[in-house]
Structure 1
């Protein structure tokens, strides 16, 4: 019986809205803002057509709407994606910021081990021995 099969470790699956609440709220805000852009741009294009004595045409509206949509996505969404993806990538590569977090976590674990009467140095010796053994097998 593995530790994940043990009843103490069994967690019921969260309900759908609990598990995906952030995505649902984000998606809802996205759809509402896009509908808002559509409505206000539609009003603007209809008013422009009326000012110039022209008839509003959907064929002229759609390219303008999608052009402004993709312009917004390019300027805002792609910047945000780069920030999130770039930070994740640099964290994965081990930038100085991620090392600080690892050092801090290691210090906390060492303190917990010390409080339990376990010498954290024992684990460092074991890790060094394992690394030496692995190099010997290569």
Structure 2
């Protein structure tokens, strides 16, 4: 029970992989039989012109394109960046810089309000809001 729940995603993906691979095999076999019949030849699984070679070629072509795509996304995105992308490291630095700029601006507003109105109550209220915003 725990094994199936702990690795549920892996089991589901393995199941889907096998279902689609079997589907590819069956559809490929039907296509191979129709092609062989159109040429007046019998369809064989093994041998020089057997289906196994066509099946292996299509399977490896499919896997090659998928592995190339996966390699490109994993390997290249770990080295290269795309500015503004959630995966790029520049997002956190820019966010921290923006927060610091907003805090400085809020401090300026607090100081200006205090000087303009001379009200300690108003200053305390703005500082209270500032601390609440910083805590969120």
Aligned to 2:116: none
2:57 is matched with which residue: 56, 64, 67? Answer: 67
Distance 2:63 2:75 in 1: 16
After TM superposition, what 4+ stretches of structure 1 lie above 4 angstroms from structure 2? 102-105
| Residues 89-128 of structure 1 mapped to structure 2, 5 A cutoff | 89-90=78-79, 97-101=88-92, 104=95, 115=135
- What displacement does 1:70 show? 0.8
Query: Unaligned stretches of 5+ in structure 1?
Result: 1-13, 116-138
What residue ranges of structure 2 are gaps of 5+ in the alignment? 100-130
> TM-score by structure 2 length?
0.56
Q: Which residue of 2 aligns with 1:45?
A: 32
Residue 78 of structure 1 pairs with residue 65 of structure 2: no
Partner of 1:135: none
Deviation at 1:47, TM superposition (A): 1.2
Q: Tell me: CA distance 1:101–1:15, structure 2 relative to 1, closer, same or farther (3 Å).
A: farther
2:7 pairs with 1:20: yes
1:58 match: secondary structure: coil
Cα distance between partner residues in 1 of 2:3 and 2:94: 36
- Give how far 1:103 is off: 6.3
Q: Point out the structure with max Rg over C-alpha.
A: 2
Normalised TM-score (structure 1): 0.55
Offset of residue 104 of structure 1: 4.8
SS at match of 2:41: coil
TM-aligned CA deviation for residue 102 of structure 1: 6.2
Give the whole-Å Cα distance in 1 for the aligned partners of 2:75 and 2:91: 20
